[in-house]
Structure 1
């Protein structure tokens, strides 16, 4: 059951990044405009981020197994449609649908783990979950580079979408057989809570207003509408919090249970998860810009550059529980500190247009290990105190924080990189490496904040 659930999640997460390295080929073959190409890449992310909380609550009401199967089916059909798209408009529409399928599918995975595993088995399952969650980004870069460079049967960019179809069909058949039937009592309790439509509308508006300018603002030069949208996002989020608090005081069923936010460590967990995802996504983005734009790497070589980080992230996520007990309390601050040192080291190794040599791969291993230690133990310890009936809320909350952290990292560090590059005037490996070094120091600063947060001791 766990293998099937995580395989589908990995495939869905992969698609948020696999299209990045295929973007030049898509633009060339479909004659896409700059705005059209942005929406091909960003459309998936927008619907995915906006609908995550809704997907989590639908699983609570309709059954996690049923909603998981539905989301996987939508994602698979949309992938086929993307691979067969004849124009930019079709591809954008099907990417939006693909993101919606992911938003319905992914929250069910954590809910299935929370409801079907206990004790040490749950800890192991969460370790596998965290490893899959954050390796999808790097793996997407690698696989995208491989598929685009292979140009299978002259199909160019299309295999980055079509590869999902046979995998999705097999997973649907397996999931139908191995996923447990939804418990009638749990379904009744979920339906009794209601859907909280006003809360969904307010939160959906807040996430939409926050997501769209982050995704499109950099390419558009941060126009006035992007800043107004971000300001409106703050307003809608404030209204959402006020409405949810009032609903809880009146005995209603808020979209996110207040007791979930009061769970020991949940607030710090939200911050740390956001920090890990921002550093991870920002690092992948700016290093990709540097090695492809500044150093002239091919899509395949650029993708394979991140393989050490992805492999180590996954390996550490699966094994940290077996490390010596005296080390356990230091894993989170130590992991963030290691990530801070390693990201700064990558910037220093690639300065002056160099390729970093073998030391670069050692630094990439440090980035993967450090971020994994900051993420895995945080997620496991936070969810250890979550009630089974709050599993859907926890799934939606942490999945949304994960996605918003990635978006923020790409937007902020991408903007810093491009601004620094433009300020340098003459493009080239030297200017690009200077921009990367500045970003590396900024990434290290965020990781250092995570290390400080890891030193906070909670009262039991």
Structure 2
């Protein structure tokens, strides 16, 4: 791993962190904020149900399947260069989305947004890892985790505010145009503040490997995103069956590349570490919990109880506050008490989900949105306690030469887990809604939400068990440092 400016610590690294966190905020915000604008887009552009699906999915699919390739390009050409290029493209794509004259153009520009986000986002964690000394990484990743929490909650809240206020008579277009001033400011600040870094062993792009992996991820992501809305037709199962075949082909090809002395897209050695493989499994389950909860809660509040997008967004506010506060506190807690803090966070999360289940079960169709605030705050505390230390713990076990690829894999897992969570919880939620004999719509949606929460609670238990295995794997590798490793390496 090399930095073009040398190995000394950058005195402006905290200002540089602000720039990359602004990019993180924008990219994650765009995964959620558009949901609120769908009715306005449908009315203004006369978009069909199919158009709306692709407006939502186009960004997620392009983003998810190209993240690993984006991380490799950052290793090759420089992370600062790829980050700023992606940022510029994201700003332009956001402006084009805001000016889209038809649903077809909006779909194309959303895909462009996803492509540019895939160039920008994998560089963030890699730049944090190479820019900060060991004792500061935990704090930096804690701020990264806090940004994730703010962006996730802000999507509903900010989107609802912009639509309800109709600023400058822009309507739905404001949810895209809000990225432009943030992106321009971050881009101008990033040019002098960010330091360049790259992986000297990444000489050229493994184009064949990139194509195989992208096709494999698309075979998984596309049916997960579109399958339920399409009624799970035969093509969705065919594509899902193609994923393991494509992944196997990719692994065989990458090993051949390594045997021939060439540079693979992903080094097989990255997955030989049991801790890293377990860590990716944890990321998949952790973010599936969050996406499943957010999706079903939003559907219950807006479709079942008829709350506005802004009110629905306000419901999430305590969760975001709890997540933000816990993300800031978690580095110090891990430094003092060790990685067992992650397990405490998992238990708090499960407790918060159980608390929410009890509240909804008690109130049923008479549920008031503010009644959920205490339990959602508890969930936010639990998830915020886990998020940043989990990322730091996983990356701390990765060799510096693989840090770019590891960041790409981790970010890809985050995106895929979001689709997985919505996909599986949707099966339980809508099945419960369809078979419910309750006469009141409010009660039917509340019942379906409780069924979904039971599924989410099971996921939380699985997450806690995987976490125990990860902590044991760390102790086996570094028995004398098991308690302090996560706090020191962040």
TM-score normalised to the size of structure 1? Answer: 0.95
Aligned to 1:105: 120
Deviations 1:381-402, CA, capped at 9 Å, x for gaps: 1111222221210111000000
Q: 2:441 aligns with which of 428, 433, 438?
A: 428
Q: 1:69 aligns with which of 76, 84, 95?
A: 84
2:264 is the alignment partner of 1:254: yes
Instruction: Quote how far apart the aligned CAs of 1:125 are.
Output: 1.1
| 1:22-421 matches, cutoff 5 A | 22-180=37-195, 182-183=196-197, 186=198, 188-191=200-203, 194-263=204-273, 265-323=275-333, 327-351=337-361, 352-355=364-367, 359-421=371-433
Instruction: Quote how far apart the aligned CAs of 1:366 are.
Output: 1.5
Partners in 1 of 2:189 and 2:286 — Cα distance? Answer: 32
TM-score normalised to the size of structure 2? Answer: 0.89
RMSD between aligned alpha carbons?
A: 1.7
Contact 1:344/1:437 (8 A) holds in 2: no
Instruction: Quote how far apart the aligned CAs of 1:214 are.
Output: 0.9
Contact 1:334/1:451 (8 A) holds in 2: no
The alignment covers a number of residue pairs equal to 455
Instruction: Quote how far apart the aligned CAs of 1:196 are.
Output: 1.5
Secondary structure (helix, strand or coil) at the match of 1:189 reads coil
Contact 1:73/1:172 (8 A) holds in 2: yes
Partners in 1 of 2:248 and 2:372 — Cα distance? Answer: 43
Partners in 2 of 1:371 and 1:124 — Cα distance? Answer: 17
Aligned to 1:451: 464
Instruction: Quote how far apart the aligned CAs of 1:62 are.
Output: 0.8
> Are the structure 2 counterparts of residues 324 and 280 from structure 1 closer, same or farther at C-alpha, using a change threshold of 3 Å?
closer
Deviates more, 1:125-134 or 1:244-253: 244-253
Partners in 1 of 2:274 and 2:217 — Cα distance? Answer: 25
> Are the structure 2 counterparts of residues 236 and 353 from structure 1 closer, same or farther at C-alpha, using a change threshold of 3 Å?
same
Contact 2:22/2:182 (8 A) holds in 1: no
Q: 1:5 aligns with which of 16, 20, 45?
A: 20
Secondary structure (helix, strand or coil) at the match of 2:171 reads coil
> Are the structure 2 counterparts of residues 248 and 284 from structure 1 closer, same or farther at C-alpha, using a change threshold of 3 Å?
same
Deviations 1:76-105, CA, capped at 9 Å, x for gaps: 001001111111011111001011111110
Instruction: Quote how far apart the aligned CAs of 1:358 are.
Output: 5.5
Deviates more, 1:285-294 or 1:231-240: 231-240
> Are the structure 2 counterparts of residues 36 and 427 from structure 1 closer, same or farther at C-alpha, using a change threshold of 3 Å?
farther
Contact 2:352/2:376 (8 A) holds in 1: yes
> Are the structure 2 counterparts of residues 86 and 324 from structure 1 closer, same or farther at C-alpha, using a change threshold of 3 Å?
closer
Secondary structure (helix, strand or coil) at the match of 2:407 reads helix
Deviations 1:185-240, CA, capped at 9 Å, x for gaps: x454322xx31122111110111011111111111111111111111112111211
Secondary structure (helix, strand or coil) at the match of 2:228 reads helix
Partners in 2 of 1:145 and 1:244 — Cα distance? Answer: 46
Contact 2:333/2:341 (8 A) holds in 1: no
Instruction: Quote how far apart the aligned CAs of 1:308 are.
Output: 1.1
Secondary structure (helix, strand or coil) at the match of 1:350 reads helix
